[in-house]
Structure 1
């Protein structure tokens, strides 16, 4: 452009020639941004519950039903196709500590304030089949907060006492083995191949009850013995789908913490999340997608954080309506993410393939 000639149109012509390039660059940027956001930011369904604290979200193995509940709210079942509430169990559960479906989807296991031990229900009829517990006084009348089915569905592991994890036979209802001798155990998880159990224990280094350190114990399920102890493993505990990685909350000073990713064969901490996460009553919710690529968790800014499970790189923040996130869960096929928040809402989000 000639500076002495204000009517020189050569610059305008050159900008016109660049227009297709700029449009392509813009389209590429939008496409890249969309690819980097793996979850559609508009919910598929929003369910409103009777109480605020839905702390448990569990999909049925066929992906057709979502179970929700919490310590101060009723157990409910939702039809994911219609978005409506469906028939539940034969007895109303008003206070839920934990819930799991058996791998084949035929049984529902619950831990509640209304029963001692773990209750097994027929998932189709809702009828109570049996309760897994030791007779009183051995059971001490205590409730069960943490339990999990073995991958083969033949047994169930339950933390019936602060210091003991028990393995129960589903068919006979008899206890098979007790994992104890390491002090209090607050949480545990079973590896996908069913050979390893990892539990987490608190370490109190001060005079008060504040937990400032944790330690994990890796058990061989067949022998019932500890094969390795790993300082720093906290709770909740989540295995990667292939069982080679372990995700746990890292206890830190104050109310904030980070997620740690552990290599199970070596017991080494290989990565920690760059974002600080605020714990919800001592446990930040976390879910790993079935393909092992995504991790979803509640974030301190009251959003749902979606990150790359392998690198912990932040991919997306889902709005939560200025409410703390209490639970997250992926559907069995990984196509849906369910979240619950403190505003009595359960939301279903579509995960891009």
Structure 2
């Protein structure tokens, strides 16, 4: 396992005090970002998107517990002030600092707290595994564990950290993610590869159908390792998908991971769209929580998903436990239910991952999406979020 601190010259640190956290990464390199599509874009999103236009950053500062969203002009000033804190220490331009926030919407940042804790965090910067984990923990909100992933391809290192457990839906990125590599690519090349990687990872997950005001993925490259773009993209996709799957596994109150795979759709985009619709359905998610193989709900979702469908489809359930396949059960074949719900229920009761595979028999398009079940605990967590 690589950590973000295994990228040369990268230093980081973070602290978590109750619901509030502050993290800092010092990293010089070309940068690309993908940002929320929510109309109420939080000030840190606005500021960071502007700051990375020149394609280079030297540091990232992140706070958790307060989203600094829907906070008006003061929110913009506070986001810029956070950048100034790090820029001053690094003796660089404010425009070379990225800022991110996550937490409660509509509350102004406690800048006195941030400024006082920044001193402590910055003084403790380092490049060990413990520093990497401190940063990962500092950006958590309702997450139950820090999320990290990495790979190494032909000497090229890619390592990332993200946070996310609720307010997750496939409309860009739907959480905060920071990915670092020693690869040598321009910011334009990074932007191209990041957009593709996000499409097949963070854009394939849904926990609750809500897209945050603060979603952000940043990719920073320090430029020390040459690697082919195709190989780099495969490595980046694997890291992003690993992080995305950790998010759905940690979905607020989740007890099971849900995967929907659509085969032989008319085209790929239709397969992706249909899979996302199914994992986003509250009726499907509650059925998975109750271990109810109610495949009619899946059929109904496909019917309104806005894709071309075929009544003679096949639908198969696969149950997994600790990554091992327990059993595969065909529920529908050539559009006819097979009456295997009893067996399917037993498989679902034993599984920690439930996969539905749908063969539309229309073309060569295929796609997938990941989600989780919807439990009583999700309601409790989110009903008490600001208390």
> Under a length normalisation based on structure 2, what TM-score does the superposition of the two structures give?
0.28
Of structures 1 and 2, the one with the larger relative CO (CA 8 A, separation 6+) is: 2
Larger radius of gyration: 1
Q: Which has the higher helix share?
A: 2
TM-score, scaled to structure 1: 0.30
